[in-house]
Amino acid sequence: MTPMPRFWLTFTGYLGLDPRQQRHWWGSLGRSRWSRAAAWRRSLLLFEATQTPGRTIDDICRFWHGVARPTEVMEVLEEQVQEGTLTRQECTPLQERVLVMLDRAGGWR
């Protein structure tokens, strides 16, 4: 399994996932072959790989509200269930954590 990027640990920590859930979801993304989940994982890895000393909090926020926006996360999770890399029982608690972290407008708190 590819090591979990720091951004992944930050993101899933924000969602309140425990280390087992973080590892399991990351591993399931690594097994995903369908386009949305695989592309999302590649985006996370690329973001991690292109860290530069000049990266600002604005850069991170753009990524957070772009690639890691709540609707995208939910769609990735649903695709993983359809593909069979996550079961519905594994997916539902992850989706619930996403929903808990939304503001009234459907964005991240």
Q: According to the model, what pLDDT value does residue 95 have?
A: 98
pLDDT at 85: 97
Residues of the chain with pLDDT under 50: none
Could you tell me the two tokens for 41?
């994982």
- Give residue limits of the domains in the chain: 6-46+56-100
Closest CA to 40 of 79, 91, 97, 82: 79
Q: What is the pLDDT of residue 20?
A: 96
Q: What is the predicted pLDDT for the residue at 78? A: 98
Residue 103 sits at the vertex; the CA angle it makes with 54 and 65, to the nearest 5 degrees, is: 30
